[in-house]
Structures are given as structure tokens and as C-alpha cells.
């Protein structure tokens, strides 16, 4: 937040000069509200959903949840998240299908996707990354590892 202060002040000064409202020595108090980054967390287990969302909320992220693959696709479109944390084993559409759809049909190639799942085989990790996931993590996980992975991408 502190790093943005100089940029914001410089921008306001340029705006004041452009509009002709610049007055040397006059200080202007401006409140700027910066929205927290939004993370979509997708898992069909209420317990796992809570374990994933709690550390993210405590870290100051806005969290939106989905309980299956179709719900996840709808939330990507309606909520426009900054990052998706995605389980693989889910009803309706699995995480691999959701990730592939995010990358292709929805045209969200730049949206970071972290797969967080119980599937721990090397072939599962390979397939998840091949579908477009930026990171593949296994359950059980530590909140610190999840937060570190999120911070790498947003």
C-alpha cells in the first residue's frame, strides 16, 4: 500500500495541473479505497472448502466459493476472480475439465489456477499442468504453503 502513495500523489498533481485547480502549498486530502484481490475457491467438500478459505480470508483476500465444476465456470464469468484454487475430484465437471475450459472456451489464459487436490500421482500433476494449471498442490496442505502459492501469482 505504501508503494502506491507516491504514484497516486503524482497522478493527482498531474490531474490538478491539467484541470487548472493546482494551488501551490495547498494540501488535498483524498481517500482511495483499494479493493482486495478476489480468489475463487472450488471444492465439493464443505470441510475442505473451509480449510482453504479461512487462511485466505485471514490474509485479507476476498473469497468466493463454488461447490462443483459447473458452479466454478459460472463464478469465473460472474465474479471475475484474480485467481482460482481448484479441486480435481468434483461432481458435474472435474477440475481438469474446468481448468481446460477456463483456458480455452472462456479465454482466460492469464487467470492463475492452482489445483489443490487429493490426487497425488505424478501423472495427475502432469495432466493438471497440461490442462493449464499454474501450480499443482496435494492435500493435506499447510495454510502457509497455500498462501505462498497464491502470493506467487497475485
**In CATH, what number is assigned to the domain containing residue 117?**
3.40.50.2300
Are residues 126 and 51 part of one domain?
yes
Are residues 86 and 26 part of one domain?
no
Give residue-wise pLDDT tens across range 115-153. 998 888 888 888 889 888 999 999 999 999 999 999 999
Predicted pLDDT at 3 = 44
Are residues 144 and 113 part of one domain?
yes
Beta bridge partners of 135: 114
User: What is the C-alpha to C-alpha distance for residues 72 and 43, in angstroms, rounded to an integer?
Assistant: 9
Q: In which domain, by residue range, is 4 found? A: 1-34
Structural domain count, the chain: 2
CB 108 within 8 A of CB 63: no
pLDDT digit string (tens) for the chain, length 154 residues = 444 444 455 555 555 666 666 667 666 666 666 778 999 999 999 999 999 999 999 999 999 999 999 999 999 999 999 999 999 999 999 999 999 998 888 777 889 999 998 888 888 888 889 888 999 999 999 999 999 999 999 8
Are residues 40 and 13 part of one domain?
no
Beta bridge partners of 39: 63, 83
Are residues 42 and 12 part of one domain?
no
User: What is the C-alpha to C-alpha distance for residues 75 and 73, in angstroms, rounded to an integer?
Assistant: 5
CB 99 within 8 A of CB 124: no
Give kind and range of the element (H or E) at residue 52: helix 46-58
Are residues 50 and 29 part of one domain?
no
The model's pTM: 0.77
Amino acid at each position: 500500500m505504501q508503494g502506491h502513495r507516491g504514484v497516486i500523489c503524482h497522478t493527482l498533481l498531474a490531474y490538478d495541473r491539467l484541470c487548472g485547480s493546482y494551488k501551490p502549498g495547498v494540501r488535498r486530502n483524498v481517500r482511495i479505497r483499494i479493493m482486495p484481490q478476489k480468489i475463487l475457491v472450488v471444492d465439493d467438500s464443505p470441510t475442505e472448502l473451509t480449510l482453504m478459505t479461512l487462511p485466505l480470508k485471514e490474509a485479507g483476500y476476498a473469497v468466493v466459493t463454488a461447490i462443483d465444476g459447473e458452479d466454478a465456470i459460472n463464478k469465473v464469468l460472474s465474479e471475475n476472480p484474480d485467481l482460482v484454487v481448484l479441486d480435481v475430484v468434483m461432481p458435474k465437471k472435474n477440475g481438469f475439465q474446468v481448468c481446460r475450459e477456463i483456458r480455452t472456451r472462456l479465454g482466460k489464459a492469464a487467470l492463475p489456477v492452482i489445483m489443490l487436490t487429493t490426487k497425488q500421482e505424478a501423472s495427475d500433476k502432469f495432466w493438471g499442468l497440461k490442462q493449464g494449471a499454474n501450480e499443482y498442490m496435494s492435500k493435506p496442505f499447510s495454510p502457509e504453503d497455500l498462501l505462498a502459492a497464491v502470493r506467487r501469482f497475485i
